[in-house]
Amino acid sequence: MKMTGAQIICECMAREGVEVIFGILGGAVLPLYDTLPQYPQLRHVLVRHEQGAAHAADGYARVTGKVGVCFATSGPGATNLVTGIANAQLDSVPMVAITGQVATPFIGKDAFQEVDITGITLPITKHNYLARDAASLAKTVREAFLLARTGRPGPVLIDVPRDVFQEEAEFNYPSKVAPAGYKPTLQGHPTQIKKAARLINEARRPVILAGRGILISRASAEVKYLAETAQIPVVTTLLGISSFPESHILNFGMGGMHGMAYANMANSNADVIIAIGMRFDDRFTSRVSGFAPGARIIHIDIDPAEIGKNVRVDVPIVGDVKTVLDALNKLIEPTQHIDWFEQLDLWRKEHPSTYIRNSNGILPQYVVRKIYDVTEGNAIITTGVGQNQMWAAQHFWYDKPNQFVSSGGLGTMGFGLPAAIGAKIGCPDETVWCIDGDGGFQMTLQELGTIAQERAAVKIAILNNGYLGMVRQWQEMFYERRYVATPLSGPDFVKVAEAYGISGLKVTEKEDVEPAIEKAMAEDGPFLLDFRVEPEENVYPMVPPGEAITEMMEEPREAIKVLTDSAKLPTSNI
């Protein structure tokens, strides 16, 4: 059967099970949009800026585990996607982006709205294509989805010249595609798995480092089995949050620059580290020479390029996390580590890390904790970047996989709001809160228009400190309080929301925090809360850049004497 290039793309997307596409159209991509009505199963969500399309597709992909899809036109449409594509690349998020390109005869002529988007995105995509003819499109689209979701997931871009959308070709759907040279290793090497099991069985102070690879591979149950059987504490990375239930007795919180003090102490004193689906990012290890000096390291990851990249590894295991753990768990002997847990519990008591001091003003940590209390932990949280992100990571406990959606690798301010749209569309029955900073929110707040048009019931909490807070914190600590360019004005966010037809409330008193969150929850649609929080509150603990992870700055002891009512401290019962 003959079809146009645009029809072939839509047909392939329908066969891939695509439900939603985020995008903005323009001349080059118009033939593709004109075909969409023939495929009513493909819902299109019109965003207000292409960065929003990529982040929404990213948020959708993280919460559903499916490939997120976005469309943009040539030139500025395509370049506006770039930040969102890089974001997906650094956090290993499956995404397919289709960009329109000027018609084939105009390529290379600096035609109107022409940019070399495959050149631009080469280093920030898992793979990209410039489609040359309609006949090869089915294979290209099929390959793109395969590459995006298998192995280590990532973004794939297909650039399609306008005439290729319009060209007719015979539609041949390949039953299978096998991109040249692409064959991710799924099974771990049996000898390495045996070595790892021996190390784990002999360990006295083991620690599991749980990363996003566990969420991608859906291996939470396998990690739980390993942790429970061999009684191993679990420390997560920022993106590993929710891969292991945070209220589980063996959960020792997030490690790294703003991780729990006791989590970093556990890492530093471990004799065996089992790193699962994580990549020893510098925000996690801090100074590498000071990272886990006495530990033998087992590293399980599907991407061989990650092994030995940042830290030396004693037992590398390349493979799919779930598949490897299935094999490894069969060799694990039930054990207890009584002395180790006594030590860990002591550290946890001495360095509580998630206490919130009493204060008359609104502490941002208190807002996050109240969102946790009111939702009873049943919410997907998307975040901005900066202090708000760290408080959202520290003061909410995430028990279900993919509850925490945050820009880890690229650290993209402006991610929170569009990612929340994608998450809500992906999981319409879940409560979705976007916890953002006043700076990051101003980077993509135009997506309130998308929320209004789509009636996406996203709840928004702006931790409004009037600063580019995280940078101000660095200036306070390392630049003698020279607050250059960090004080930040903003609009009246409630009025902005209202201008978009979205209700909201400004919250200036501590006693109004909880009722305001309850009001937002009671509302059927979207709701915005503008919390005027203590402007110079800092994120603790903090490992100063360049230091070893044990060199943590903690909140002064006297400040944490008084606890808020809901502060809780999990302790192991061993």
Ligand X SMILES: Cc1ncc(C[n+]2csc(CCOP(=O)(O)OP(=O)(O)O)c2C)c(N)n1
Contact residues toward Mg ion (CB under 5 A) are 437-439, 465, 467, 469
Q: Does 412 bind ligand X (CB under 6 A)?
A: yes
Least Å distance between CB 389 and ligand X?
7
Question: What's the Cα-to-Cα distance from 79 to each of 100, 134, 245, 485, rounded to whole Å?
Answer: 12, 24, 38, 27
Min dist. Cβ of residue 455 to ligand X (A): 26
Q: Which is nearer to ligand X, 468 or 516 (CB)?
A: 468
Residue 161's binding partner among ligand X, Mg ion, none (Cβ under 5 to 8 angstroms by kind) is none
Site residues (CB under 6 A) for ligand X, limited to 360-389: 384-388
CA dist., res. 573 & res. 490, Å (int): 48
Nearest CA-CA partner of 76 in 33, 109, 28, 31: 28
- Write down the least CB distance from residue 438 to Mg ion, Å: 4
Q: What string marks each residue from 242 to 261 as x (binds ligand X by CB under 6 A) or -?
A: --------------------
Q: Which is nearer to ligand X, 5 or 384 (CB)?
A: 384
Q: Which does 471 bind (CB under 5 to 8 A by kind): ligand X, Mg ion, none?
A: ligand X
Nearest residue to 79 via CA among 53, 105, 111, 106: 53
For ligand X, the closer of residues 383 and 403 by Cβ is: 383
238 makes contact with ligand X (CB under 6 A): no
Interface segment toward ligand X; rule CB under 6 A; list 9-17, 167-175, 249-257, 459-467: 459-467
Q: Does 468 bind ligand X (CB under 6 A)?
A: yes
Candidate residues 341, 467, 500, 540; the one interacting with ligand X per rule CB under 6 A: 467
What is the nearest approach in angstroms of ligand X to the Cβ of residue 60?
21
356 contacts 365 by C-beta, under 8 angstroms: yes
- Compute how many other C-beta atoms are within 10 angstroms of the C-beta atom of residue 456: 21
Element (H, E) at 129: strand 127-130
Chain residues 104-163 in contact with ligand X, contact rule CB under 6 A: none
What angle, rounded to 10 degrees, do the helices at 513-522 and 364-375 form?
40
User: Count of residues binding ligand X (CB under 6 A)?
Assistant: 20
Contact 116, 157 (CB under 8 A): no
**Smaller CB distance to ligand X: residue 33 or 441?**
441
Does residue 440 bind ligand X (CB under 6 A)?
A: yes
Of 238, 261, 236, whose CA–CA distance to 248 is shortest? 236
- Measured from the CB of residue 196, what is the shortest distance to ligand X in angstroms? 36
First CA to last CA distance, the chain? 67
SS3 state of residue 392? helix
> Distance (Å, rounded) from C-alpha 113 to C-alpha 414?
25
Strand pairing category for 380-383 and 315-318: unpaired
| 3-state DSSP assignment of residue 398 | coil
Residue 284 CB, nearest approach to ligand X (Å): 17
Residue from the set 211, 469, 504, 526 that interacts with ligand X by CB under 6 A: 469
Q: Helices H, strands E: what count in the chain?
A: 22, 20
- Which residue(s) pair with 301 in the sheet? 318
Nearer to ligand X, 304 or 411 (CB): 411
**Binding at 285: pick from ligand X, Mg ion, none (beta carbon under 5-8 Å per type):** none
- Given candidates 325, 392, 471, 502, which one binds ligand X under the rule CB under 6 A? 471
Q: Which is nearer to ligand X, 47 or 470 (CB)?
A: 470
Q: Which is nearer to Mg ion, 401 or 437 (CB)?
A: 437
Q: How far is the CB of 279 from ligand X (least distance, A)?
A: 19
Between the alpha carbon of residue 143 and those of residues 91, 136, 180, 181, 310, the distances in Å are 21, 11, 10, 13, 31
In the complex, minimum distance from the CB of residue 486 to ligand X, in angstroms, rounded to a whole number: 8
| Binding of ligand X by 319 (CB under 6 A) | no
Structure token digits, residue 207: 């620690």
Contacted entry of Mg ion, ligand X, none for residue 570, CB cut-off 5 to 8 Å set by kind: none
Stretch that binds ligand X, among 237-245, 253-261, 424-432, 433-441 (CB under 6 A): 433-441
Give the residues across from 443 on adjacent strands.
Answer: none
Site stretch for ligand X (CB under 6 A), options 2-10, 21-29, 434-442, 450-458: 434-442
Please report how close the Cβ of residue 552 comes to ligand X at its closest, in angstroms: 19
* Strands of the sheet with 296-301, listed across from one edge: 251-254, 234-236, 206-210, 272-276, 296-301, 315-318
The correct pick among 276, 413, 542, 549 for binding ligand X (CB under 6 A) is: 413
Residue 245 or residue 411: which is nearer to ligand X going by CB? 411
Q: How far apart are CA 486 and CA 465, in angstroms?
A: 11
CA distance 283 to 295: 19
d(CA 250, CA 525): 37
Provide the minimum distance between the beta carbon of 261 and ligand X in the complex, in angstroms, as a whole number: 21
List contacts with ligand X (CB under 6 A): 384-388, 411-414, 437-440, 463, 465, 467-471
